[in-house]
Structure formats: structure tokens, C-alpha cells
Amino acid sequence: MFFSRSSRLARGGLVAAFAFSITMGATPTRASADGGENLIDFPTFAGASTMLDRNGSADIITAPDGQRILRLTPGGFRQAGSAWAKPKLDLTRSFESRFKVYLHHGEPTADGIAFLVQSDGPRALGGWGGGLGFRGIRNSVAVEFDTFRNATDPSNNHVAVVLRGNPDFHAAIGEPSIPLFGQPFWARVNYDAANHDVRIYVRSLQAGAEEELALEATVDLAAEVGASSAWVGFTAATGGAFTKQDIYSWMVEAPGA
């Protein structure tokens, strides 16, 4: 069952001048308790090839700075990619996922990425374009970071919760003040299993930037995917417009007892 407690956040002005180092941006403050268990820990994706099932256009590559990253789409026409951690995630427990995202190269931008929990399996891959790589993955809950305005979208810079692999319907939606395209950012997805509370935060890598709550919603992950444990990972897609869509680091942590 799903009940949205979100309200659309006012869009702020974009930063005119932005100096950053994608490899040096500090991680967001951890919200979980001390003694938390690291379920997934990729400070970079070096050595991660055997730990991730990758489909479609997704691959682990070496970025220009020499860092190993997860590239979901390399910037081609009508691409879709997915990557899933091989250990399944216990959805009856609270967890927090943090990841560094860089969506770049392409005008207009398209189409965005999504963080998913899903029980369809490690080969799950959905449609290209506005499908964001998860359209048709029915046993799923997606948190999308969307950079292209399709007919059902409020803008080309929004965050949404999507159920049952249908990106044409947003169960909850928010518009962060930071740009999702062209500048790297941190994202943090926090799930309180006891209260079925999902919170999505974003933060620019700009010096002195503060984390903002982009969206909050109530969703029972286990009930929605039809299983107490599920695969967790990312999807992305391009259509007639194309973008390179990269994940630079990724962690999933369960709070301590």
C-alpha cells in the first residue's frame, strides 16, 4: 500500500559558477546508527565486476580521472542499462543507500536514472527512453532522478517514487533545487521499515552545499515487490536524446541493532 506525504518542493535558482572534483566530494552525513552493517560498499567500482549483474548498456569502465565507475548508458541512441548487486536485500529491515551520480554530455538531456528494489531477478531490464530502464519491471519500487520532461512529468529536473514499473504514473514527486544534469551530486535513500517511510535526499558537490530533502513518501517495499527480500541496484535509459549516466560510488547500510 502507498500513501504520499510529499509536497512538491520549490525549485531554486541554478548555480552559475560551479567548481568541483567528483573524486573528492565528501559523502553525506550518515543517518544510521553507529555499528551499522555495510551490505554494499563500493567507494569506487574497482573489483566490482564479479559482484554486480549488469544488463544492456551497463558496464564498469575507467573514467578519464582513472577511477572505475558504473556507466549505465554510454551516451548512445535508445539505450537501456541495469546493474544489480548479487546479494539480495532484506526489505523487512531498515536501510540507507548513498550514491554519487554524474549525468553529463547531451542536449537535451535524457532520460535519467533510477534506484530500484525489485524481485523480478538479476536479469531485469526495462524499456528505453522515458522508461528509464525499468518500465515493465512490475515487481519493483523505483526512485527516479529524471532529466527529461515527458508528457506525464512536471519538469526535466524531478525526483519521483514509481510503483510496478510504470513511469507514466508517479506515486510521489518532488523537484529538487539542485540540477540533476551537468553537475555531479550525492543522493541518499533512507528506508524506515517499521514505518514504511522512504526519504530521498540530494546534495550538490559544490563547496558548502547542504543536503536537502527532495521527497518523502510512505511505501511498504516488501508488499509492493511481493517478497521479503529483493535485488537492489540501478537502471537508466536514453531515447532520441542521449546522455552518459554514471554512478561513481555506492553504499547500502543497515543500522545497528
Q: How confident is the model at residue 241 (pLDDT cuts 50, 70, 90)?
A: confident
Q: In angstroms, rounded to a whole number, what is the distance separating the alpha carbons of residues 154 and 40?
A: 33
The answer to whether residue 21 is domain-embedded is no
Q: In angstroms, rounded to a whole number, what is the distance separating the alpha carbons of residues 79 and 183?
A: 21
Q: In angstroms, rounded to a whole number, what is the distance separating the alpha carbons of residues 36 and 49?
A: 25
Q: What's the pLDDT at 255? A: 84
Q: Angle at CA 254, nearest 5°, toward 251 and 257?
A: 155
The answer to whether residue 42 is domain-embedded is no
Using a 10 angstrom Cβ sphere, with 0-12 exposed, 13-18 middle and 19 or more buried, the burial of residue 56 is buried
Task: Output the nine-digit C-alpha cell for 212.
Answer: 536537502
Q: What's the pLDDT at 22? A: 52
Task: Output the nine-digit C-alpha cell for 12.
Answer: 531554486
Q: How confident is the model at residue 6 (pLDDT cuts 50, 70, 90)?
A: very low
Q: Which residues contact 16 (CB under 8 A, 6 or more apart)?
A: none
Q: In angstroms, rounded to a whole number, what is the distance separating the alpha carbons of residues 231 and 120?
A: 8
Q: What is the pTM of this model?
A: 0.87
Q: How confident is the model at residue 147 (pLDDT cuts 50, 70, 90)?
A: very high
| Phi-psi map region of 117: left, alpha, beta (phi>0 left; psi -120 to 50 alpha) | beta
**What are the Cα distances from residue 253, in Å, to 8, 26, 34, 62?**
28, 17, 11, 26
Give tens-digit pLDDT for 168-186: 999 999 999 999 999 999 9
The answer to whether residue 114 is domain-embedded is yes
The answer to whether residue 129 is domain-embedded is yes
The answer to whether residue 29 is domain-embedded is no
Number of domains in the chain: 1
Give tens-digit pLDDT for 179-217: 999 999 999 999 999 999 999 999 999 999 999 999 999
Give tens-digit pLDDT for 77-123: 999 999 999 999 999 999 999 999 999 997 778 899 999 999 999 99
The answer to whether residue 33 is domain-embedded is no
- Give the mean pLDDT of 28-32: 39
Position 31 pLDDT exceeds 70: no
The answer to whether residue 30 is domain-embedded is no
Q: In angstroms, rounded to a whole number, what is the distance separating the alpha carbons of residues 200 and 147?
A: 16
Omega before 108 within 30 of 0, i.e. cis: yes
Collapsing DSSP states into helix, strand and coil, what is residue 150? coil
Find the CATH number of the domain harbouring 229.
2.60.120.200
The answer to whether residue 143 is domain-embedded is yes
**What is the residue range of 58's domain?**
2-9+47-254
